[in-house]
């Protein structure tokens, strides 16, 4: 099993590996195999962009009052190993609410909970001069969304998904399929922060029901429950 499949098999349990692989192939047949998706006509994206200043203010207060853990401190995810340079403040993970963290960000939590398609949400902090190495996301039944919160020098911060390169702007959105090989860099001299969200990929019947089941099973995996326990501790 290659590294891509190892990551998928570790991060999203429940469905067997063969069934999940079959379903992911069906998703690509039904919805295509695009890297980035347009966002201008999506109501939930407009809602997040319109609330960006509220989220930024709450993030600023959070960073002044609390330490944000690095991803490796709370996760056994084998896909990203960069020490303390990538920090995450998790609010939701596969639909599982991280109550301890959500109480510290009530306004952001309320915004997230008003958008039912959001299943994962966290603040993603990448330190100055650092990068997140190439890796694959675990499951293409969700699409990954980024809202720029602190983007110190847009021309020095970016993401490559497959063969396509994009950058962030504060208050602006990116939506992509993270099961393509992707990596991130911050070549500025300041921290970059985004709101990192996974939303349910819109699919026709009956694939939407199978996808709902798969995401629900992901919520109950040891991977998700271990992270919640570490956050609560």
Q: How far is CA 44 from CA 116, 147, 208, in A?
A: 9, 12, 19
Measured CA to CA, the distance from residue 193 to residue 154 in angstroms comes to 12
Closest CA to 206 of 198, 196, 214: 214
| Cβ pair 80, 133 in contact under 8 A | yes
- Residue 99: pLDDT band (50, 70, 90) is very high
Closest CA to 153 of 117, 186, 115: 186
Measured CA to CA, the distance from residue 232 to residue 101 in angstroms comes to 8
Q: Which domain holds residue 142?
A: 3-232
The pLDDT value recorded for residue 16 is: 64
Angle between helix 17-31 and helix 207-219 axes, rounded to 10 deg: 140
The CATH number of the domain holding residue 141 is 2.60.120.330
pLDDT of 8 higher than 70: no
| Cβ pair 112, 160 in contact under 8 A | no
- Residue 19: pLDDT band (50, 70, 90) is confident
The pLDDT value recorded for residue 1 is: 37
The pLDDT value recorded for residue 76 is: 76
CA within 13 Å, CB half, 194: 24
- Per-residue pLDDT, averaged over 197-223, amounts to 92
- Residue 188: pLDDT band (50, 70, 90) is very high
Question: What would the pLDDT profile of 113-133 be if each residue is shown by its tens digit?
Answer: 999 999 999 999 999 999 999
Measured CA to CA, the distance from residue 49 to residue 69 in angstroms comes to 26
- Residue 191: pLDDT band (50, 70, 90) is very high
pLDDT of 3 higher than 50: no
Average pLDDT, the chain: 91
Question: What would the pLDDT profile of 22-60 be if each residue is shown by its tens digit?
Answer: 999 999 999 999 999 999 999 999 999 999 999 999 999
- Residue 2: pLDDT band (50, 70, 90) is very low
How many domains, in total, are found in the chain? Answer: 1
Alpha helix (H) ranges present in the chain? 3-11, 17-31, 43-50, 52-65, 71-74, 99-102, 106-113, 207-219, 222-232
- Per-residue pLDDT, averaged over 140-146, amounts to 97
Measured CA to CA, the distance from residue 146 to residue 16 in angstroms comes to 29
- Per-residue pLDDT, averaged over 144-166, amounts to 97
- Per-residue pLDDT, averaged over 153-162, amounts to 96
Measured CA to CA, the distance from residue 95 to residue 221 in angstroms comes to 12
Which tokens is 2 given?
Answer: 């290659």
The pLDDT value recorded for residue 193 is: 98
Which tokens is 112 given?
Answer: 């997230």
Q: How far is CA 162 from CA 156, 177, 182, 201, in A?
A: 19, 9, 6, 19
Measured CA to CA, the distance from residue 172 to residue 147 in angstroms comes to 6
């Amino acid at each position: 099993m290659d590294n891509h499949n190892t990551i998928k098999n570790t991060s999203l349990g429940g469905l067997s590996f063969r069934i999940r692989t079959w379903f992911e192939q069906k998703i690509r047949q039904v919805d295509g195999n695009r890297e980035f998706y347009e966002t201008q006509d999506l109501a939930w994206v407009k809602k997040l962009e319109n609330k960006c200043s509220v989220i930024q203010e709450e993030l600023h207060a959070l960073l002044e009052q609390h330490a944000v853990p690095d991803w490796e401190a709370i996760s056994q995810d084998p896909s990203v190993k960069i020490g303390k340079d990538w920090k995450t403040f998790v609010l939701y993970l596969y639909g599982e609410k991280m109550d301890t963290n959500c109480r510290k960000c009530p306004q952001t939590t309320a915004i997230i909970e008003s958008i039912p398609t959001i299943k994962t949400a966290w603040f993603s902090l990448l330190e100055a001069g650092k990068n997140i190495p190439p890796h694959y996301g675990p499951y293409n039944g969700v699409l990954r969304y980024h809202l720029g919160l602190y983007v110190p020098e847009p021309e020095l911060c970016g993401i490559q998904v497959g063969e396509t390169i994009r950058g962030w702007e504060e208050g602006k959105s990116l939506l992509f399929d993270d099961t393509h090989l992707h990596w991130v860099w911050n070549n500025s001299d300041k921290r970059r922060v985004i709101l990192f969200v996974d939303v349910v990929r819109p699919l026709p019947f009956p694939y939407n029901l199978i996808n709902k089941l798969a995401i629900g099973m992901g919520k109950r995996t040891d991977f998700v429950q271990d992270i919640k326990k570490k956050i609560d501790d």
